[in-house]
A and B are shown apart, each in its own frame.
Chain A
Amino acid sequence: MTDSSKDLESEMGGSPPKTMDGSMTTFLGSMWEQITGFFKWHNLRRSLIQVGWAIMSIILALLVASLIMLGTGFNPIVAFSTLIGGALLQPDIIFWWATPLILTGLSVALAFRAGLFNIGAEGQLYMGSMAAAIVGFMAMLPIFVHPLLALLIGAVVGGLWAFVPAILKAYRGAHEVVTTMMMTYIAVPYFTTWLAAGPLRDPTLIQPQPQTPAIWPTAYLPELFGSFYLHFGFIIGILCVIGVWILLKNTVLGYEMRAVGLNEPAAEAAGINPKKMIVISLFLSGCLAGLGGAVEILGYYHRFYAGWSRGLGFDGITVAVLGANSPMGVLLGAIFFGFLRAGAIPMQTVGRVPAEMIDVIQGLVVLFVAAPKIVEWLAKREISWAQWIRKEPMKSLPIFLGSLFALIGSMILLAMAASMFGTLMVLDLIPNLPTLILTDPYMAMHVATLSLAIIFGVIGLYVFYALLRLEKRAIWAFLPLSIVLIILGVVNTLIFGGSLLIPLLVIGILGFVFAIWSYIVVVRQGVIFGGEF
């Protein structure tokens, strides 16, 4: 053992696994240790903190997205309630959407672990799906063999599409971000489209379209649970999660890949060939992305359409980032995005909110994950809050819950303002608003309610922030906020015939109780405000 390999070991937090030298039983034994070790408390706790961070980022992203929705005149409450309700009613769509995302997410995560950024998973996905479709409709093979062969060839073709950037990266230093992206532009709008529109076009169509013939039913992946959408590919995705997990944790190859990713010079000094590792890991990464495409073609689409995926590969980046590049994290992240996509469907049809909101949320999630310091700061607050609540629940709870209610109340107020403003815009009343207010008491009421909602919506955001920071002024702002919530609930229902009475009343009354309680806690029991606690 040289010094540099010692350095590497300390950096990696362990020595390389010896399992490949030993027999199968020792390999399995060490795997069992890994699996039981995963459920040991300190390991679980570490994963839970990771999950907690991801959830914090998601919450922040949803908050910012709500503000964007309010600014553009959509109602975030309607959007999120239709999104969540709709997704829960159709759980099979969640897992169906998650399936390719698991595989592309794993693809990006695996490359990332080896220090590579495979931004071109989209192109590999297209090549893999095209290859699978070709095997699916050209070959005549028995059941079982047919889908297996199609999946295998899809994965290999996807891997080969990543192989070119891999070679160039390893031996010529060409930046993989640029080259994989260029390979994607070659594959998606040009090469696969040309194949689907030209030599492989479905000849049976009356009007010729860029799509291949349907694959033979022998190549179909079976459906799961009688769903219209969910297919066996989901199981394959889970198997791949376990496979990549074992690869990274339990094999020499995985260890060497991670070593190159963490510290290339040290890894080279320790006798690992970084060039080989770069090529292998990008190839495997491409294989996973290609498999993602193949699975979708065999499981759901049953033929190749030019341009069938609008960014499953790019969503894989988001999933990998959200899942902190760990296989389990990728699984959870993919299911989360499946949830968003499944909910986006009723969000558009019932809630009338454009699906681009989901893209915006996705971008924001990545941005917040990329900025660990913000989340860290919030997490620290959260932890100290949790400690305080455990120690002195009677003092801390009213303030903590009060801040949450202020946030919810302000969101409802802003949403109300947005919809009232939308009414004004639709009726085109804004230009002659001043005269209308003076002549029409109903309009005056409308505008007064609107401005009250905006003002107290902003105050609610402030109360949320200031209560979390334990500022005394927040309590004084909280009381009028609760009263305004109750009044607006009544006004909204009695005068404008709205349906916000019950939520506003509940939140207003509870908020009022919390405000009084916090006041009593502060005055009677003397909680010290304004500092760290």
Chain B
Amino acid sequence: MSNGSNTRLIAIIFIVIIIVAGGAIAAWWFLVPKEAPPNPDDVAIVFATGRLGDKSFNDGCYQGAVDAVNDFDISFTFVEPDEIAQYEPFLRQYAAHLPWADPYDVIISVGFDQADAVMAVAEDYPDQAFAIVDMFIDPATYPNVASLLFAAGEGSALVGAIAGTVTTQDKIGFVGGMDIPLIREFAAGYFWGANFSNPTFALDNETGSADFVHTYVGAWDNPTLGESLADGIYTGGSDIIFAAAGKSGLGVIDSAVKQNATPLAYPVWAIGVDSPQMFLGTDDPDNPVAPTVVFTSMLKRVDLACYWVIEAASVTGTPLTGLQFHNLANGGVGWEDNETLLGWTWPTATRDILEDLTEGITNGTYLVPIDFPWLG
């Protein structure tokens, strides 16, 4: 029993005590079930991997939730996953509503690539209401899921028809984010609408029509490339570009602003997409005043669709299920009509064409193409 071993013994006991105490605190912190607090939020949103700030589905859905918060006494929470693999864990996390006591009224998934994850989770939580944006899930198998779809081509046809009346060069352009079917639907509707209001546009493109160009940036989040490409299209003689390219499309609007800043032979325009973007074409987007270079935007009312979903789930108490199709008939798609920002009023002829088109599409007289059949 030397002194050294004694101190060593005390030290070892001391270390053991500290480890046990630390372990106990940690165990208390993590494992002891605390009384589950009430859920602070009523609605949970899992956004698509494009993140907020995409001025498209994600921002639209966010806007709808914010509107719902302002109108009803509810609150919402959200996450921005950055890859597909995170969807299912997030959805399960929300469906299990840990560590909260009560479940969410509805869980909204944004983006088509969440479909498989939503189906897997909805099967395990049949009492939890889900909604998925931009994808169809069969309500026969999954009665607790609402599918929110949008007829993007119909809205594109409207702005195309306006573009057909506005253009002075009789040549219009389209900038897409990537050459994928969803974006082709925008382009097809747009050119079809331009042809509807202004028959000088030839849709027959077997040999190549000089009347319109459609191009693809190849990236969703690169405004610099979008701007460069738009510069080229304006230089090539088109005076209107419809940008359906996510954040790259913001560069198209920048390009239109710059092209107009120094006098050209003719004014050039841009058309916004998904959300109201006319303010982006003004001199100072923070305090938008007329004039703007974005004379209209194709509106995909994701905000309205999400607002309805939240209203049904949280206020009415009966969540929406099945296919919720949003088209011209129910105002789910449309065009941005903002004459204060525009600085002039739309001529009656234009409005007549739009009315005719809306009515025709609604009652099925006119069928908007969803791809380029004429490209072969």
Q: Which residues of A contact B (CB under 8 A)?
A: 81, 84-85, 88, 90, 93, 97, 189-190, 193-194, 197-198, 201, 205-211, 228-229, 296, 300-303, 305-311, 342, 345-346, 348-350, 354-355, 389, 392-394, 397, 401, 503, 506
Q: A303 — nearest CB in chain B belongs to which residue?
A: B116
Asked if residues B178 and A394 are in contact (CB atoms below 8 Å), the reply is no
Asked if residues B11 and A393 are in contact (CB atoms below 8 Å), the reply is yes
Asked if residues A81 and B30 are in contact (CB atoms below 8 Å), the reply is yes
Asked if residues A309 and B90 are in contact (CB atoms below 8 Å), the reply is no
Contact residue among A93, A206, A301, A348 (Cβ-Cβ distance under 8 Å from B136):
A206
Which residues of chain B have C-beta atoms less than 8 A from A189's C-beta? 178, 218-219
Which residues of chain B have C-beta atoms less than 8 A from A354's C-beta? 80
Contact residue among B94, B116, B371 (Cβ-Cβ distance under 8 Å from A302):
B116
* Chain B interface residue count, Cβ-Cβ cutoff 8 angstroms: 47
18 CB-based A-B contacts, threshold 8 Å: A189-B178, A207-B136, A210-B182, A228-B120, A229-B88, A300-B85, A308-B113, A309-B84, A309-B85, A342-B89, A346-B93, A349-B77, A355-B86, A392-B7, A393-B12, A394-B11, A397-B11, A401-B18
Asked if residues A85 and B30 are in contact (CB atoms below 8 Å), the reply is yes
Which residues of chain B have C-beta atoms less than 8 A from A355's C-beta? 80-82, 86
Q: Say whether, besides A197-B179, A349-B77, A190 and B218 are in contact (CB < 8 Å).
A: yes
Interface bits B33-70 vs A (CB < 8 Å: 1, else 0)? 00000000000000001000000000000000000000
Is B72 an interface residue when CB atoms closer than 8 A count as contact?
no
Is B25 an interface residue when CB atoms closer than 8 A count as contact?
yes
Asked if residues B180 and A193 are in contact (CB atoms below 8 Å), the reply is yes
Q: For the complex of A and B, list the 5 residue pairs with the smallest distance between their C-beta atoms, beginning with the closest.
A: A393-B11, A208-B181, A310-B83, A197-B180, A85-B30
Q: B12 — nearest CB in chain A belongs to which residue?
A: A393
Minimum CB–CB distance for B225 against chain A, Å: 12
CA distance A350 to B100 in the complex (A): 10
Q: Say whether, besides A84-B30, A207-B135, A349-B94, A197 and B178 are in contact (CB < 8 Å).
A: yes
Is B29 an interface residue when CB atoms closer than 8 A count as contact?
yes
Is B214 an interface residue when CB atoms closer than 8 A count as contact?
no
Which residues of chain B have C-beta atoms less than 8 A from A209's C-beta? 112-113, 135, 180-182
Asked if residues A349 and B179 are in contact (CB atoms below 8 Å), the reply is no
CA distance A227 to B120 in the complex (A): 12
Asked if residues B88 and A206 are in contact (CB atoms below 8 Å), the reply is no
12 extra A-B contacts, CB within 8 A, seeds A208-B185, A310-B49, A345-B89: A81-B30, A84-B30, A97-B85, A197-B181, A207-B134, A228-B92, A308-B84, A346-B93, A350-B99, A355-B86, A389-B11, A393-B11
Minimum CB–CB distance for A242 against chain B, Å: 26
Q: A350 — nearest CB in chain B belongs to which residue?
A: B99
Which B residues, 306 to 363, have Cβ-Cβ distances below 8 Å to chain A?
Answer: none
Which residues of chain A have C-beta atoms less than 8 A from B90's C-beta? 345, 348-349
Asked if residues B7 and A393 are in contact (CB atoms below 8 Å), the reply is yes
CA distance A346 to B10 in the complex (A): 41
Asked if residues B83 and A88 are in contact (CB atoms below 8 Å), the reply is no
CA distance A265 to B365 in the complex (A): 77
CA distance A342 to B93 in the complex (A): 11
CA distance A506 to B21 in the complex (A): 10
CA distance A309 to B7 in the complex (A): 56
Which residues of chain A have C-beta atoms less than 8 A from B218's C-beta? 189-190
Is B149 an interface residue when CB atoms closer than 8 A count as contact?
yes
Which residues of chain B have C-beta atoms less than 8 A from A306's C-beta? 180
CA distance A355 to B185 in the complex (A): 34
Minimum CB–CB distance for B200 against chain A, Å: 30
Is B125 an interface residue when CB atoms closer than 8 A count as contact?
no
Which residues of chain A have C-beta atoms less than 8 A from B266's C-beta? none
Asked if residues B84 and A305 are in contact (CB atoms below 8 Å), the reply is yes
Minimum CB–CB distance for A34 against chain B, Å: 35
Q: Say whether, besides A84-B30, A207-B149, A301-B84, A394 and B181 are in contact (CB < 8 Å).
A: no
CA distance A393 to B181 in the complex (A): 70
Which residues of chain B have C-beta atoms less than 8 A from A81's C-beta? 29-30
Minimum CB–CB distance for B279 against chain A, Å: 24
Asked if residues A88 and B30 are in contact (CB atoms below 8 Å), the reply is yes
Minimum CB–CB distance for A192 against chain B, Å: 12
Asked if residues A206 and B179 are in contact (CB atoms below 8 Å), the reply is no
Which B residues, 1 to 40, have Cβ-Cβ distances below 8 Å to chain A?
Answer: 7-8, 10-12, 14-15, 18, 25, 29-30
Is B79 an interface residue when CB atoms closer than 8 A count as contact?
yes
Contact residue among B7, B77, B112, B371 (Cβ-Cβ distance under 8 Å from A394):
B7
Asked if residues B99 and A229 are in contact (CB atoms below 8 Å), the reply is no
Which residues of chain A have C-beta atoms less than 8 A from B93's C-beta? 345-346, 349
Q: Say whether, besides A85-B29, A346-B93, A355-B82, A207 and B182 are in contact (CB < 8 Å).
A: yes
Asked if residues B113 and A205 are in contact (CB atoms below 8 Å), the reply is no
CA distance A404 to B78 in the complex (A): 36
CA distance A303 to B370 in the complex (A): 24
Asked if residues B179 and A205 are in contact (CB atoms below 8 Å), the reply is no
Q: Say whether, besides A85-B30, A193-B180, A355-B82, A229 and B89 are in contact (CB < 8 Å).
A: yes
Q: A355 — nearest CB in chain B belongs to which residue?
A: B82
Minimum CB–CB distance for B40 against chain A, Å: 11
Which residues of chain B have C-beta atoms less than 8 A from A305's C-beta? 84, 113
Q: A359 — nearest CB in chain B belongs to which residue?
A: B82
Which residues of chain A have C-beta atoms less than 8 A from B11's C-beta? 389, 393-394, 397
Q: B124 — nearest CB in chain A belongs to which residue?
A: A228
Which residues of chain B have C-beta atoms less than 8 A from A503's C-beta? 25
Asked if residues B79 and A349 are in contact (CB atoms below 8 Å), the reply is yes
Minimum CB–CB distance for A183 against chain B, Å: 17
